[in-house]
Amino acid sequence: MQWTDVQWKSVLTPLEYRILRLAGTEPPGTGRYLDDPEGPGMYVCVGCGNPLYPSTTKFHSGCGWPSFFEEVEPNALTIHRDASHGMVRTEMRCARCDGHLGHVFEDAPHQPTGKRHCVNGFAVLFVPDGSDPRDVLTEHRQANRR
Ligand SMILES: [Zn+2]
């Protein structure tokens, strides 16, 4: 999926744009989806609707961002070395639209994978079971325009 900046800006909020397209980070504790899963469903990329995390992989880490222990399938994400801000971290991007999602850390020993996918709440959208991701994404974008 190759979109221009103008196209992205036409569908994303300024904050979503800054996170997904400029690898920004929402301040801790300010995003959505901070606690337990919103219910049975799937967290999808807010840029393109790509399914990323089933609600069964979400956990409350207290780190200030939504946390998941495993992506829905290995091809959902791409992994990159991020040496910005004086740290070496592992960045995750949406495999479909290349949008920045967050970073993955190996500091969740009580989770099945030991990993904490630390995801920006504004990079994802929750789609309840039984709903069409495209409808949820469309509604979200229309609500943003109001
Ligand atoms: Zn995407």
Q: What is the pLDDT of residue 35?
A: 85
CA separation, residue 91 to residues 14, 42, 98, 104 (Å): 21, 21, 11, 7
Residue 123 Cα to ligand 1 middle (Å): 9
Domain range summary for the chain, segments of one domain joined by +? 5-138
Written as tens digits, the pLDDT of the chain (146 aa) is 789 999 999 999 999 999 999 999 999 999 999 988 899 999 999 999 999 999 999 999 999 999 999 999 999 999 999 999 999 999 999 999 999 999 999 999 999 999 999 999 999 999 999 999 999 999 999 998 76
Catalytic residues, by residue number, are 118
Residue 64 Cα to ligand 1 middle (Å): 22
The whole-model pTM stands at 0.94
Please state the CATH superfamily assignment of the domain spanning residues 5-138 in this structure.
Peptide methionine sulfoxide reductase. (2.170.150.20)
Q: What is the pLDDT of residue 118?
A: 97
Q: What is the pLDDT of residue 1?
A: 72
Half-sphere exposure of 14 (CA within 13 A, CB side): 0
Q: What is the pLDDT of residue 144?
A: 85
Residue 77 Cα to ligand 1 middle (Å): 9
Q: What is the DSSP string of the chain?
A: ----HHHHHHHS-HHHHHHHHH---PPTT-SS--SS-SSSEEEEETTT--EEEEGGGEE--SSSS-EES--SSGGGEEEEEE-GGGS-EEEEEETTT--EEEEEES--TTSTTS-EEEE-GGGEEEEETTS-HHHHHHHHHHHHH-
Residue 63 Cα to ligand 1 middle (Å): 23
